[in-house]
Amino acid sequence: MGSTQTFEHLLKPLDVGDLRLKNRVVMASLTRNRDNVPRDNLHVPYYAERAGTGLIISEAALICPQGVEWTFMPGIYAQEHVEGWKKVTDAVHAKGGLIFCQLHHVGRVAHPGTRVQRESGQPVPGPSAIAARGGKFRNVPGAPGYTVPTPIEDPQQIIDLYSNASRLAKEAGFDGVELHNGNGYLPMQFLESHSNKRDDEWGGSTEKRMRFSLACLAKMNEHFPYHRIGIKIAPCGGYNDMGELDENGIPSEEAAKATYVPFCTKLNTLGLAYVQVMRWWASYDLMIEGRPRGIEWNPIDCLRPILKDTLLFGNSAFMPEEADEWIRDDRMDAVVIGRPLLYNPDYTEKLQNGSAVTLYQEQPGDEHWWYKWRNNDKRDGYLDWKNRTIVPTTLKTGDRLSLIHD
């Protein structure tokens, strides 16, 4: 069945700094947990197939070796990563696409028992000695949760890594870079008040807590102009025990505004390519101690007037019809699409040819998109780390796998 909708707003080009996006569908960062160095037979075709989107944001790429929940995240800290990513960016460009690299440091949600963290010789770092609640490390014996991090003595040393990663991203042919400032990772840990209890120049007031992110952006700016740098924020929290709290420790919209309004006021002055704002979505709103950890509010509408000189990309659980309307009504400039692009590499082509309805059609046995993503994760094979081989998929729709999440 075809759709009669034309998606004229979604399919309109968008100028982002000196780049022209051919449409306003941006591919979200999607960790695939496939290998630390991008592979010719996995990453290259995967990204190239999705080059019909206006812009691709790469899966999160670690800026230094860290022992993370997803054992096979790619990196952007060594020359071998440049070689691997270069093939990806070349393939995307050959198909007329654009691609930014998402720069990633997980901070306190690494684990000291993981192989990579042990080999790095570094403790798990965080702004303060406060562990996130929850967490699961299937790759560590005993399935432990998150650990209490060692407070970072000199944040500047980590901030400097963002310069190195940006330099390598440039060398690898990326069109720009994005600071991953969401989902409970290091920059967000510095930004939010419950995870940052420092009393030096990196903590305390909102102004001091936002310094880390701003300093990272300034380092990225050593290799890319600000109009080639984006940032992703997640003011609704949830995942990784995030979200601002009121004085009683309850997740609070007012507390979130107290951090994110001044932060975005500052971001608005930088001339960034875009600010990507995640709205509330159920899958990231985990239950902690019997209550949802996230904050169910609408940060996109709240922050739009504050980000008045910056493009705003809306993210999380957007259907194409809704995204088209929000762009038409000037509530955002582009939509960032994640899960549907996993199983619809031809997402924008489907919008163009009117088969948009299939973008969210459930298949028999799929109760939830989450399962659908899991199944699709292995559609084209996955890396068997021990044997260093690619295992082709043999899965049926509805099989529940947990290569990455469960």
Ligand X SMILES: Cc1cc2nc3c(=O)[nH]c(=O)nc-3n(C[C@H](O)[C@H](O)[C@H](O)COP(=O)(O)O)c2cc1C
**Interaction of residue 373 with ligand X, rule CB under 6 A:** yes
**Interaction of residue 182 with ligand X, rule CB under 6 A:** yes
Task: Looking at residues 114 to 173 of the shown chain, list those that interact with ligand X (rule: CB under 6 A).
Answer: none
Beta strand pairing call for 287-288 and 291-292: antiparallel
Provide the β-strand partners of residue 336.
26, 315
**Interaction of residue 189 with ligand X, rule CB under 6 A:** no
* Residue 46 bears catalytic tag: no
Which residue from 115, 118, 46 is spatially nearest to 84, judged by alpha carbons? 46
C-alpha distance from residue 186 to each of 190, 198, 258, 347, 371 (Å): 6, 14, 19, 32, 28
**Marked catalytic residue, from 47, 185, 343, 347:** 185
130 close to 149: Cβ distance less than 8 angstroms: yes
Distance from C-alpha of 152 to C-alpha of 159, rounded to nearest angstrom: 11
Least separation in angstroms between residue 278's CB and ligand X is 5
**Interaction of residue 106 with ligand X, rule CB under 6 A:** no
The CB density around residue 378, as the number of other CB atoms within 10 Å, is 16
Among 19, 78, 261, 317, binds ligand X (CB under 6 A): 317
Mask for 229-248, x = binds ligand X (CB under 6 A): ---x----------------
Distance from C-alpha of 186 to C-alpha of 293, rounded to nearest angstrom: 18
**Interaction of residue 337 with ligand X, rule CB under 6 A:** yes
Task: Looking at residues 276 to 305 of the shown chain, list those that interact with ligand X (rule: CB under 6 A).
Answer: 278, 281
Mask for 205-234, x = binds ligand X (CB under 6 A): ---------------------------x--
379 close to 403: Cβ distance less than 8 angstroms: no
Mask for 17-36, x = binds ligand X (CB under 6 A): -----------xxxx-----
Residues of the shown chain interacting with ligand X in the complex, contacts defined by CB under 6 A: 28-31, 59-60, 102, 180, 182-183, 232, 278, 281, 315-317, 337-339, 373
